[in-house]
Amino acid sequence: MISQWQLRAAFAARLSEMYGREVPAYNTLVDVSREVNEDTLRAQGADAERLGSISRVTAERHGAIRVGTPTELRHVARIFGALGMRPVGFYDLREAAASAVPVVSTAFRPVDADELARNPFRVFTSLLTPADPRFFDAELRSRLETFLAGRELFPPELLALADRAETERELPEEYAERFLHLAVQALELSAEPIDRAWYEELERVSAVAADIGGVRSTHINHLTPRVLDIDELYRRMTERGIEMIDTIQGPPGWKGPDLLLRQTSFRALAEPRALRLADGSVMRGALRVRFGEVEARGIALTPAGRALYDRLLTLADHEAARHPAADRTELARTLWAAHVPATERELAARELAYFTYHAAPDRPRNGTQPPTTLAELERRGWVRAEPVVYEDFLPRSAAGIFQSNLSGAGSRNTEQEGAAYDSEWLSGAIDREVLDPYALYEQQQSLSITEVGRELGLDLN
Ligand code: OOG
Ligand code: NI
């Protein structure tokens, strides 16, 4: 029998193999990431593994896919459900000021700490929003919805196997093999010719709309390795002559602990695609859709920590606007140094970040009474705090990442009110609860505190 986590790990590995065949530059990114991780481990020793073992980090990937209808998203949820991945978080990319994209998104990922440790594979999954009149007028919306209703992204056999794996939490080997084969195949780039006029019509609204609704299949858009030192990776990729987007998204590199998520990417590469013209003939064309992204993960922030992060982002924007000649990253770094605690202990004390707590194996056992607060227990060596890794995404960075394949800005009718899509709507549409990431982190932290309290005979919650 193949268990869910084994299916998940195998799926991630096969997807990686397939994507490397389709987009060879991805292999370069994976190679450079591995080199940087090995060098970081050599230089920092055990500290390098504070946010995940080197084996987890080396295997760690996130993918991104994009679909067109709630039904398609429901199918995606069943396939990832088979792999023990649940929808977490709601991201509205339609709102990002400079780079609005007509999608709303969630991320499918494992939620339990032990499942994450086994294999943390996650997929950022976006759903097109044809009902948003800022992007689509009624006539285009109707043609788009008709087009989407007429395609099938995932064969019934794949969905049936997925349901079985989700219910039984495992699959017999030969079924597992078939499931993995069909699941990877569903995300390969299709060779079917693309209706050029239709694709270009959607492209005028948004390149992402065309990538989703202009073709009769879906595909993995990018697959992202995790790196321990993203500044170093950026330097090495640039040295190899690979043109990266001009910044690393997310928090600036700084002297304190890694927080949240930092990401960067190289621009989409031209890939050969067959295009069908109005007269029915087929020509060889090229589209720039898929790119390479890499990320560094840090500690998960509490709502207060996240509010501080968002405030500093806004402040950095203001500062950058006032000093156009200044380096925005430097401005951000200065702001961070002034406002963000630079040690894990202080982040915990100010409840800005999440930690799990564990009774120290070498705590006093000579009958001494332990202190009664978590902070004192930690300070005096009775308890160790371990940072909780941020397992999710950042909407502003995501909007920036989408730009990696947008050559034009598209068009948007700002006179119109946007259509309402939110987390609840998404839960209803896919018939599964979209989980709140903060609740998951909070629960992990508080369970560990209860457990420590039990071991030390204290009431800490
Ligand atoms: C998804 C962009 C978001 C990330 O890492 O923030 C994303 C997409 O391009 O489909 O993957
Ligand atoms: Ni990504």
- The CA-atom distances, in angstroms, between 24 and each of 20, 114, 126, 185 are 5, 32, 24, 18
The answer on pLDDT for 413 being more than 80 is: no
pLDDT in tens, 346-355: 999 999 999 9
pLDDT tens digits for 291-319? 889 999 999 999 999 999 999 999 999 99
- Per-residue pLDDT of 354-389, as tens digits, reads 999 999 999 988 888 999 999 999 999 999 999 999
Q: Which helix (H) or strand (E) holds 155?
A: none
The predicted structure's pLDDT at residue 243: 85
Would you call 428 helix, strand, or coil by DSSP?
A: helix
Over the stretch 238-256, which tens digit does the pLDDT of each residue have?
A: 998 888 888 899 999 999 9
- Tell me what the mean pLDDT of segment 95-122 comes to: 90
User: What is the position in ligand 1's atom list of the atom closest to the CA of 66?
Assistant: 10
CA 29 to centroid of ligand 2, rounded, Å: 14
State which ligand 1 atom lies nearest to the alpha carbon of 103.
Answer: 10
Which residue's CA lies nearest to atom 1 of ligand 1?
64
Ligand 1: nearest atom to the Cα of 293: 5
What is the reported pLDDT for 419? 75
Adjacent-strand bridge partners of 383: 359
pLDDT of 97: 59
Q: Specify the residue with its C-alpha closest to ligand 1, atom 6.
A: 398
| Top mutation candidate among 101, 109, 401 for ligand 1, by most atoms within 8 Å of CB | 401
Dump pLDDT digits (tens) for 50-82: 999 999 999 999 999 999 999 999 999 999 999
289 — pLDDT class (breaks 50, 70, 90): confident
CA 105/CA 63 separation, integer angstroms: 13
- Residue 178 half-sphere exposure toward CB, CA atoms < 13 A: 15
ipTM of the assembly? 0.99
Residue 121 has pLDDT above 80, yes or no: yes
Question: Using one digit for the tens of pLDDT, what is the confidence trace for 248-288?
Answer: 999 999 999 999 999 999 888 889 999 999 999 999 999 98
Query: Quick one: what percent of the chain has pLDDT higher than 70?
Result: 98
CA of 301 to the centre of ligand 2 (A): 19
Ligand 2 center from residue 212 Cα (angstroms)? 16
Residue limits of CATH 3.10.180.80 in the chain: 2-299+395-430
Residues 6+ apart with CB under 8 A from 387: 50, 51, 257, 299, 300, 344, 353, 354, 355
- Tell me, in angstroms, the distance from the centre of ligand 2 to residue 410's CA: 21
Residue 408 pLDDT: 61
Provide the whole-model pTM.
0.96
Q: β-strand 61-67 against 122-128: which pairing, if any?
A: parallel
The more confident residue out of 322 and 289 is 322
**How far lies 244's CA from each of 29, 119, 250, 251, 405, in Å?**
11, 28, 15, 18, 12
Residues in the chain: 461
Give the count of beta carbons closer than 10 Å to the beta carbon of residue 53: 11
Which pLDDT score is estimated for 252? 95
Q: Residue 409 pLDDT more than 70?
A: no
Ligand 1, atom 4: nearest CA belongs to which residue? 398
Q: Measured from the CA of 398, which atom of ligand 1 is nearest?
A: 6
Q: Is the predicted pLDDT of residue 407 greater than 70, yes or no?
A: no
Asked whether residue 343 carries a pLDDT value surpassing 90, the answer given is yes
Closest protein CA for atom 10 of ligand 1: 64
Q: What is the pLDDT of residues 184-201, one digit of tens each?
A: 999 999 999 999 999 999
* pLDDT for residue 171: 98
Which residue out of 124, 126, 128, 392 has the highest number of ligand 1 atoms within 8 Å of its CB and is therefore the one to mutate?
124
The residue nearest atom 5 of ligand 1, judged by CA position, is: 398
CATH number at 2-299+395-430: 3.10.180.80
Q: Which residues line ligand 1 (CB under 6 A)?
A: 64, 66, 124, 126, 221, 263, 293, 393, 397-398, 401-402
Q: How far is the CA of 125 from the centre of ligand 2 (A)?
A: 10
pLDDT at 288: 87
How far does residue 27's CA lie from ligand 1's centre (Å)?
A: 19
Work out which ligand 1 atom sits closest to the CA atom of 65.
Answer: 10
* Helix 24-44 × helix 4-22 angle, to 10°: 120
Token code pair at residue 284: 């060889």
Atom index in ligand 1 nearest the CA of residue 394 equals: 6
Query: What pLDDT is recorded for position 123?
Result: 98
Q: Mutation test of ligand 1: which of 91, 222, 291, 396 has the most ligand atoms closer than 8 Å to its C-beta?
A: 222
pLDDT for residue 269 = 83
Ligand 1 test: best mutation among 66, 249, 261, 393, most atoms within 8 Å of CB?
Answer: 393
What pLDDT, on the 0 to 100 scale, is given for residue 226? 97
State the chain's mean pLDDT as an integer. 94
Please name which ligand lies nearest the alpha carbon of 65.
1
Ligand 1 mutation pick, 295, 402, 403, max ligand atoms within 8 A of CB: 402
pLDDT digits (tens, 9 = 90+) for 430-458: 999 999 999 999 999 999 999 999 999 99
Residue 260 tokens read as 């949240």
Q: Report the pLDDT value the prediction gives residue 365, as an integer from 0 to 100.
A: 86
Residue nearest to atom 3 of ligand 1 (CA): 398
- What CA–CA distances, in Å, run from 333 to 253, 329, 390? 7, 6, 20
Residue 175 is predicted with a pLDDT of 98
Strand 270-276 and strand 194-195: the pairing is: parallel
> Distance, CA 113 to ligand 2 centroid (Å)?
22
State whether the Cα torsion 442-264-134-105 is positive or negative. negative
